Structure 1
Amino acid sequence: MALLTAGAVVLAVLLALLAHTAINARLLRKPPGTAEATDSAAVLLPLRDEADRVGPCLQSLLRLPPATRVIVLDDGSTDGTAELVERTAGDRVELRSGRDLPPGWLGKPHACHQLAEAEAGSGARTGTGAQFLVFIDADVVLAPDAVERAIAVMRAHDIDLLTPYPRIETGSIGERLVQPLLQWSWLTFLPLRAMERSPRPSLAAAGGQFLVVRRAAYDRAGGHAAVRDRVLEDIELARAVKRAGGRIALADGSELARCRMYTSWRELSEGYSKSLWASFGSPAGAAAVLALLLALYVVAPAAALLGPWSGPAALLGPAAYGLGVAGRVVSARATGGRALPDALAHPVSVLLFAWLVVRSFARRGRTTWKGRPTWRP
């Protein structure tokens, strides 16, 4: 009897989460099919030792409308990144060399800060300062009309900072198991419309792969200088925009951009280890979240293997497993991802995620990324 009661509670929670995922999928902002060209945007690309992966990104920048200014910052690369940019993009981009990293700053915020400064300087000289700053990463490939369509969403809904989440591409088994959890997590647990309406900075999400912010809101929030020592500078910038009175939102950017963040399990585990710990308020908070995820999506489905059960109890494990898989399918279809067969391995995905979180906390303060520290105590 106690087992059935506990199982009923678990299934009720899983069903509620699945319903929330489905509602969020319907509410997720979608860019219009077409949008008017704009001359008020600047695409800003920070690079550090990206010669082996930035080529497709640069090619996509060449296909953007000529009125869209593109500024690239070479942040002390030693692998020929700057030379590759010059060969590939030529006069289409304004290439800047990054300054030395000052005390108290992490590398990514400092690079983005310099890009925003460079855009302001260019705009002041020409009288054509951008109203929208578009920050992208080296592994993002933009559609030719991506900038206009993202800005159309912001104008239509009075949004100050928008993350049009790219379509995440995966290759290795490890990537296919872990990467889809990015979109699944916020579609499942984050109330999207409440996040847009609420002034609470704690209720925020953002992704630095493709992030668009109004210049005025960026300046009011203090820009990247306000998040100079933050590992997750994208989420912290969204919070700063909220604190300054702005609105933030997420959108389905699967038609606007694609991104393969990592190309192997080793690269993925290193990338997550450097920053995953910062997604949680504390080790205790992380432990609570992991306990909930494991109970719902691993232990409950595994109950079917711990039998023998009979009657209604025999259905608890399969039902819990099915609800978890269904949530992943809904998430994938809403964000341009691969639904099946990848979603069938959802319990394994959650287990791997838990291991990555533990690894990230264990290595906090001891990891580097491209020769720089990833944490300022």
Structure 2
Amino acid sequence: MRLGGAVWAGAGISLVGAGIALYNRVTVRQLADTATSVIEPVTVCVPARDEAARLPGLIADLRAQRGVARLSVVILDDASGDDTFAAAVDAAAGDPRISVLRNDTEPPPGWTGKAAACARLAESVVAPVLVFVDADVRLAPGAIAAAVTELRRRRVALVSPWPMQRAESMAEALVQPLLCWSWAATLPISLANRTLRPSTSVACGQFLVFDTAAYRAIGGHAAVAVSVTEDLDIARTLRRAGQSTVLVAAGRMANTRMYEGTRELDAGYTRWLWSAYGGTVAGGTAVGTLAALAYWVPPLAAACGRGKVRRVGALGYTAAVTGRLLARSTETGGPLTPADVLAALSHPFSVAAYLLLWARSHRARRRGALRWKGRALNTVGA
């Protein structure tokens, strides 16, 4: 492909992505506080491993929830090496709605730690609504009520409220917004929410709201025991079983700092990014080639080209930045910050960082070196 053709092709891909991102910004439902009270029992499950520093903040948020009269919370200290259990008990402060459990054993063969912890938490739940929340998530007082109301209003098996991903370092700002952008610029969510096609499901395990009966009908987390992306795979499993799942943006009511700093971000993405695009090198290489064409070639042409090639390159780069900003606006549900704009302008570098992490993840998997929070990850059969 000649340079001019590559620039046109890359700009075209960027423009399509920006168009999809605009569609999603207009149509994706934003989770919002509601005056409706949830009458049915709701159980919130929190798996926590080495979360002594972050867990008390979530517990305070859960204790402050309103609009859920019959709320209960179960927290599992999953064989932590820090003071997670004591921190949870102290933060619960004797609240009768909160139970704190301790697990001192490693996950059984064929299970990831997260899936095993979630399965154990769900074992004794009898409430008709089952909510999983990660320890690093922060919730507005009406978040649980709003999410449960959305579950029942939509009459679905799973609602995945997408929290705003906070980024407080340069590395985080480069990479974290790509999580939302990856679907916001490629998949019309309002259409995907109306289909049972597993390939169009999107879910975020940081905040998941299940109809308990539907969750149990597919076997719960046992159905995705070995998966390093159990959130996405459990949504796909539900759809294969004929159950609907939907994604809503929850940035106004939930946020999280998923990874803190470069080292944790590197370790976090390395453990699971190999599984993207079918888990194959060929699939990832194909996506990487398209990403390079769309998000590297146009800005290079804008900087170094001449005449029409330069103008088309500038158009492609502008479209890529616009798509990033629209995706971020969908995620936050509010105004953009100067940091958001700067991160969007750095989109070519973000794509480079993502592809590097993908390559490192595959290399670690080939070497059997995948680990997370001190545990080796067995991905055989994943």
Question: Is 1:51 aligned with 2:52?
Answer: yes
- Consecutive unaligned residues of structure 2, counting only runs of 5 or more, are none
Q: How does 1:1-377 map to 2 (within 5 A)?
A: 3-38=3-38, 39-65=40-66, 67-92=70-95, 93-98=98-103, 100=105, 101-119=107-125, 129-281=126-278, 282-307=280-305, 309=306, 311-336=307-332, 338=337, 339-364=340-365, 365-377=368-380
Relative to the length of structure 2, the TM-score reads: 0.91
* Cα RMSD for the two superposed structures: 1.7
Q: Deviations over 1:21-65 (max 9, x none)?
A: 111222212224414222421110001111122221121112124
Say which is worse superposed, 107-116 or 359-368, in terms of deviation. Answer: 359-368
- 4 and 295 in structure 1: CA distance in 2 versus 1, 3 angstrom threshold: closer
- 376 and 2 in structure 1: CA distance in 2 versus 1, 3 angstrom threshold: closer
Equivalent position SS for 1:55:
helix
- Aligned-pair distance for 1:4? 4.0
Contact 1:169/1:260 (CA < 8 Å) preserved in 2?
yes
Equivalent position SS for 1:59:
helix
Contact 1:136/1:210 (CA < 8 Å) preserved in 2?
yes
Percent identical pairs in the alignment equals 37
Equivalent position SS for 1:234:
helix
CA distance in 1, matches of 2:192, 2:110: 30
- Aligned-pair distance for 1:106? 1.1
Contact 2:24/2:330 (CA < 8 Å) preserved in 1?
no
Say which is worse superposed, 158-167 or 265-274, in terms of deviation. Answer: 158-167
| Aligned residue pair count | 366
Contact 1:275/1:374 (CA < 8 Å) preserved in 2?
no
Contact 1:31/1:152 (CA < 8 Å) preserved in 2?
no
Contact 2:50/2:81 (CA < 8 Å) preserved in 1?
yes
- 35 and 134 in structure 1: CA distance in 2 versus 1, 3 angstrom threshold: farther
Matched AA of 1:117? E
- Consecutive unaligned residues of structure 1, counting only runs of 5 or more, are 120-128
Contact 1:30/1:153 (CA < 8 Å) preserved in 2?
no
Relative to the length of structure 1, the TM-score reads: 0.93
CA distance in 2, matches of 1:262, 1:26: 29
Contact 2:6/2:293 (CA < 8 Å) preserved in 1?
no
- Aligned-pair distance for 1:3? 4.4
Contact 1:47/1:138 (CA < 8 Å) preserved in 2?
yes
